[in-house]
Each structure stands twice: as C-alpha cells, then as structure tokens.
Copies of this chain bind each other. A is one copy, B any other.
Amino acid sequence: MADSSWHELQAVPNPEPGRDYAIDISIPEFTCVCPRTDLPDFGTIRIHYIPGESIIELKSLKYYILNFRQMGIFQEAVTNRILDDIKAAIHPRKIEVVGDFNPRGGIKTVVTAHWPD
C-alpha cells in the first residue's frame, strides 16, 4: 500500500440493460479514520442499486474502498460521498448506500442515503 494515488471506480456495460433488476453489494471490511480522534472507524458499507447502462466493476470497487483507509472523514460524510461517486461513475436508475459502523463509546451509528430522494 505504498501507492497512495486515488483509485477510480470503473463502469462496465450492464449485460441486461432492458430489465430493471437489483444488485446488492456488501463490503464488511470497510475502515476509515475519525477526523476528531485520529483513530480508525470500522464498519460495513452496503450498496443497493438498479443499474442503467453500466454496472460497477467489482475489482475497481475493491480498490476504490481502499482510498478511505487512511482518510480522515466523518461517517455521515463518507456514506454520502460513496453514493455520489457511484452515481457519477455508473448513472444508476436508483441507488441506496448504507454505512453501518461499529460502536464507538457505547454508541452505534447507521447512515442511510438514497437517490432519488
């Protein structure tokens, strides 16, 4: 992980663009850094979407997630950012992103953002 350059999400063509079907992706090994405490946060990112012309290329998603490993970012912000980045990369018909974070100080937080509202 010496290479600290940004990993972009890649789009690949949807094999069934004529059908409204759902893709649910779960990433249980998400980690970023809390900007207030400089300590790591851990959690699961879940992505639910109805693809349009493209789907997310999964290997690029694996590397994209690594972008956050050393980044200081709040839980509400990172969940909304992942939603925005996927929207920009593949233009889904619908998308929901859930950031389900491990408890900190006896408090557990889950952030759920979707588009369109």
Contacts and interface: CB of A to CB of B under 8 A. Distances in A.
Interface string A78-91: 01100000000000
Interface size class of A (residues with CB under 8 A): 35 or more
A11 interface: no
Nearest to A2: B38
A62 B106 contact: yes
Given A26-B107, A70-B70, A55 B38 contact: no
Interface string A23-50: 1111111010100101110100000000
Interface of A: 1-3, 14-16, 19-29, 31, 33, 36, 38-40, 42, 55, 58-59, 61-62, 66, 69-70, 72, 74, 76-77, 79-80, 102-115, 117
